[in-house]
Amino acid sequence: MDFATFLQQSRDLFVTQRKLSWKYKLALFALCSSISLIANLFLLLPGYSFLLDYPMLSIITVNILWILLSINLYFSQYFRCFVVVFFLSCGLREGRNTLIAAGTAMVVAGNIQNIFFNLKQLADSVTCALRSHNWTFLDLTYLKAIRWIYSQLRISTHLFVVRDSLNMSFLVSDEDLKLQLEKTRLSIHNISSQISSIIALQSLLGKKVLPFVGTILVLLGTYLFIRNFLSPQTIRFKNTYITRGFIKYNEQVWQQEKLSVLPLSKEERNVYSLVPSFCQTPKERKCTARFFLPVLANLCIWVVFSAVDYLLYWLIFSVSKHLHDFPELEVHFKLYYHKNAAKFILNNGEIVDKTIYFKTPLFEESCIPKPKISLSATWIQLGVILFFLIVLGLMTSILTQLKILVATAFFPSTDMKRIKYLHTKLLNRRSKFSGKNVKRKLNSFAKLHFWFPIFQALGNARKKPTKVEKESPIL
């Protein structure tokens, strides 16, 4: 038995409604257990962080869910259909929205967090630079100059002896500056803490809550699809597919010498499509285009945030590089005094001068901002998400067809009602169309040109010279 035959038999066993022998019941339970295990592993993907935090609880939960799903799949045909349609729905709008939300969470956790971090680095750098401009140069240079001037003083020791000492100190009144810098530092710290808390909360929601919300939305969409498919009030729900059951029903109607609707006309092929088929109708192409619209919109938003992140990083990195290479500032002090040799009255005597200089950096090494960027890590993950979104977008029509085929396989009675409705709808459409054509032909019988075409020819001949006269220029 080849693999294709095995799949066909497994499919027939999974969708069967008749009573089975104990041998087939065991095979069905084994098949349900296998599908339940795969479903559990798939459901664990959204809760991988929970699995890492609580491994024992996760293992117990997986085993309980495996047993419950296996029993429900074995006894409930509706539940079997629900599980298969759920997996197919993950590739449609619900799955797309979940992937887009995951990508947005990555952009917020990566690029936006980097933007605020680099802005904080820039603000901290400015406050650090203001705080680092201390007044030690007064002790090193200015006081040194005063000591030099004092050492130049020569008092005569013939009359009396003078013993003295020079003690100097300085006081810089910078309390207002320190207070303002401290307020600025606290304000930056508070804003940074608030932003970090918001980003941490968003990251927590993106990693733990958002996957479960996405799974719940897919489950809700699956339930609504099956409910609309089975409801008699919504028999027109996605009833635009020509299945094999429809073809067989049309052949039976043809054998009963009734009207057939196959093959479809060109206009009907634009609305109704054979399934399964890779050829898309114009309506399906529009659905595919609508599938990609939110993807393109969110992709533009991701690119904008990434561009802002990179430009801010490049700006701060360039400024940091120039500040690092900037030479030290050299400050010169030129000191001089008038020397009076033997006079008590000061006058313009000999000028004694001295130049003292010191070097100070414009920007301390510890105050230079150090930005960071993580575009590669973020966009590798976004690239994987975009790849799956493109694949899912191209397979939207096929997945929708598979959902219809799965539902028709599990509920053949509902499928027959839908087939009869579609067959009647096509017949009514054609009868209305043919009625309009007959009415158009009957109206043509009442025209004079129908009985005497020579009059129409003469009228056309008269119109041509008139047009030529209008187009000819007047000389």
**45-85 pLDDT, tens digit each:** 666 656 666 677 777 877 888 888 888 888 888 888 888 88
Percent of the chain at pLDDT above 70? 71
End-to-end C-alpha distance for the chain, whole angstroms: 92
Report CA-CA distances (Å) from 375 to 35, 57, 309, 383, 386: 39, 36, 8, 11, 15
Helices then strands, each counted (H, E), the chain: 19, 4
pLDDT recorded at residue 173: 60
List Cβ neighbours of 420 (8 Å cut-off, separation of 6 or more).
Answer: 249
Burial of 281 (0-12, 13-18, 19+ CB in 10 A): middle
CA distance 208 to 213: 9
pLDDT of residue 466 exceeding 70: no
pLDDT recorded at residue 297: 92
pLDDT recorded at residue 300: 92
CA distance 446 to 451: 9
Per-residue pLDDT band for 164 (boundaries 50, 70, 90) equals: low
Mean pLDDT of the chain: 76
* Cβ 224 vs Cβ 407: under 8 Å: no
CA distance 281 to 288: 11
pLDDT of residue 252 exceeding 80: yes
Q: What are the beta bridge partners of residue 162?
A: none
Output the CA torsion sign for 439, 444, 446, 451: negative
pLDDT recorded at residue 155: 56
* Interior angle at CA 414, CA 410 and CA 396, nearest 5: 65
CA distance 472 to 475: 9
pLDDT recorded at residue 127: 76
Q: On the CB side of 262, how many CA atoms lie within 13 Å of its CA?
A: 17
pLDDT of residue 344 exceeding 70: no
Position of tokens 């349900």? 32
* Cβ 223 vs Cβ 82: under 8 Å: yes
pLDDT recorded at residue 368: 81
392-442 residue pLDDT tens: 888 888 888 888 888 888 888 888 988 888 888 888 888 876 554 544 544
Burial of 253 (0-12, 13-18, 19+ CB in 10 A): middle
Between 134 and 269, the more confident residue is 269
347-396 residue pLDDT tens: 555 666 777 666 777 777 777 888 888 778 888 888 988 998 998 888 88
CA distance 285 to 279: 10
CA distance 333 to 137: 12
pLDDT recorded at residue 395: 86
pLDDT recorded at residue 163: 61
The pTM score is: 0.68
What is the helix, strand, coil percentage profile of the chain, to 5? Answer: 75, 5, 20
Position of tokens 């939207």? 396
Task: Please give the torsion angle defined by the CA atoms of residues 337, 341, 344 and 347, in that order, rounded to the nearest 10 degrees.
Answer: -50
Per-residue pLDDT band for 475 (boundaries 50, 70, 90) equals: very low
For 413, the token pair is 């009675």
